[in-house]
Structures are given as structure tokens and as C-alpha cells.
């Protein structure tokens, strides 16, 4: 079982925030691969599906923690225990302010770099899970970060944000086969970062 985690906040008022890019990406994956309906489990909203790859069919669980962004580790650890999954079976999709808008990078392990959602998951299951880092750009000063990530994605950025989420969905068989390097390259091929403004978008 491959567990795909999207980071975000559960209330409707947060639905279009930069911090909810992980949720938006899981929605794109569910639509692209015709996953089953969402249901509540593991303090999360989950959906089941299967992706066909060159190595066979891979069962996948989509998991959107409902414990708020900073406490995402609880839901992830509960799902891991239920499925007897290893950290390498977990891929976390999240917004990344330390990457330019539209950049996409895969990484396994490492520190949280100030991301409290990643910090929570690391505390719950250790650092060796896989991370799909989706660039949103930096507001320019650390004091602006909170309002920046909790602001809605500007309309001017919708096209490249949707393109990145859809590319992450279209390239999913590569991720399911464990080829993170090829997955990263394919996402960037399908949604080149050059289409995004290289500067961070100002908060609305």
C-alpha cells in the first residue's frame, strides 16, 4: 500500500490557501485515476484507488489529515500502523516556500525547514518518508510567512498551480513504482516552472 498524504487545513475557509496545495493535489489525483469516494478514518479524509504501472497494479490510499496542518503526524501514523506500512511507503505532498513558484522536487528524509506539518509527521514516524515539495515562493521576510501561506492562491497563479497538481496526477505511475527521480522529471516536463512567475506572488 502506497500512502499519499496531502497537507492542508480542513475548514472551508482554508480550502484555497497556499497551505492547502497538498489537499488540492490529492483531489487532482483522485479525479485523474477515478478513486473511490472520500470517507472519514484515521482522523482524516481518505480515498482508495489503484494505479496501473509497468510493474503491475499498485494500491494507493489518499489521506488528507483533518487535524490541521501542524498536527498532521497523528493521521499519518494511524494509517501507517493499520496498513503496516514503512516510512518509504509514505509520500507527503506539501507547499514549499523555499522553492520558487512552480518548482517541484522530490526528497526523502531531511529536516523540516520550518514546516510544522513536516515536523509533526517526522515526530510521529521518523524522517525517512518521501516528500513531494511543491514550490509556492517566499514572501520575502519570515514575519510574513504565516499570512502568506494562509492566504488564498491568487487568481493570477491558478493556471500554473493547477498545471503542477495535474502533472503530479498524470505522472503518478512513476511515483507508484518508486522512481522518484523520474517522477520529478516528468512532473516538471508536464508543468515547466518557466510558466510560473519566478518571484513569490504577493499576498492578496
pLDDT tens for residues 146-168?
A: 999 999 999 999 999 999 999 99
Is the model's pLDDT at 202 over the cut of 70? no
pLDDT at position 173: 97
The verdict on whether 19 is a catalytic residue reads yes
Q: Hey, what's the torsion of the CAs at 7, 101, 146, 8, to 10 degrees? A: -10
Q: Do 104 and 135 contact (CB within 8 A), yes or no?
A: yes
Residue pLDDT, tens place only, 61-89:
999 999 999 999 999 999 999 999 999 99
pLDDT at position 55: 85
Which domain range does residue 7 map to?
2-195
pLDDT at position 198: 46
DSSP H or E stretch at residue 166: helix 158-170
- The answer to whether residue 8 sits within a structural domain is yes
Residue pLDDT, tens place only, 106-134:
999 988 888 999 999 999 999 999 999 99
CATH number of the domain bearing residue 42: 3.40.50.1470
pLDDT at position 4: 98
pLDDT at position 201: 41
Pair type for strands 56-65 and 44-53 = antiparallel
- Among 16, 19, 94, 158, the active-site one is 19
DSSP H or E stretch at residue 151: none
Q: What is the largest CA-CA distance in the chain?
A: 47
Reported pTM: 0.92
Domain count within the chain:
1
- The answer to whether residue 136 sits within a structural domain is yes
pLDDT at position 164: 96
- The answer to whether residue 167 sits within a structural domain is yes
Query: Measured between alpha carbons, how far is 150 from 137 in angstroms, rounded to an integer?
Result: 13
- The answer to whether residue 101 sits within a structural domain is yes
- The answer to whether residue 200 sits within a structural domain is no
pLDDT at position 100: 93
Average pLDDT, integer, range 10-27:
96
- The answer to whether residue 160 sits within a structural domain is yes
% of the chain at pLDDT higher than 70: 95
Average pLDDT, integer, range 10-16:
95
- The answer to whether residue 202 sits within a structural domain is no
Amino acid at each position: 500500500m502506497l500512502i499519499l498524504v496531502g497537507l492542508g487545513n480542513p475548514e472551508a475557509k482554508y480550502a484555497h490557501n497556499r497551505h492547502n496545495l497538498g489537499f488540492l493535489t490529492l483531489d487532482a489525483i483522485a479525479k485523474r485515476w477515478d478513486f473511490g469516494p472520500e470517507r472519514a478514518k484515521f482522523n482524516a479524509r481518505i480515498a482508495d484507488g489503484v494505479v496501473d504501472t509497468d510493474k503491475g497494479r499498485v494500491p494507493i490510499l489518499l489521506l488528507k489529515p483533518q487535524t490541521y496542518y501542524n498536527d498532521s503526524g497523528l493521521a499519518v501514523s494511524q494509517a501507517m500502523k493499520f496498513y503496516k506500512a514503512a516510512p518509504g511507503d509514505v509520500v507527503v505532498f506539501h507547499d514549499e516556500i523555499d522553492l520558487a513558484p512552480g518548482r517541484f522536487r522530490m526528497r526523502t528524509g531531511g529536516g523540516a525547514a520550518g514546516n510544522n506539518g513536516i515536523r509533526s509527521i517526522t515526530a510521529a514516524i521518523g524522517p525517512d518518508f518521501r516528500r513531494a515539495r511543491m514550490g509556492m515562493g517566499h514572501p520575502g521576510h519570515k514575519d510574513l510567512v504565516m499570512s502568506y501561506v494562509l492566504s488564498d492562491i491568487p487568481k493570477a497563479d491558478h493556471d500554473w498551480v493547477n498545471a503542477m497538481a495535474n502533472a503530479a496526477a498524470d505522472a503518478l505511475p512513476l511515483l507508484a513504482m518508486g522512481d522518484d527521480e523520474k517522477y520529478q522529471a516528468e512532473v516538471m516536463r508536464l508543468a515547466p516552472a518557466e510558466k510560473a512567475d519566478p518571484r513569490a506572488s504577493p499576498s492578496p
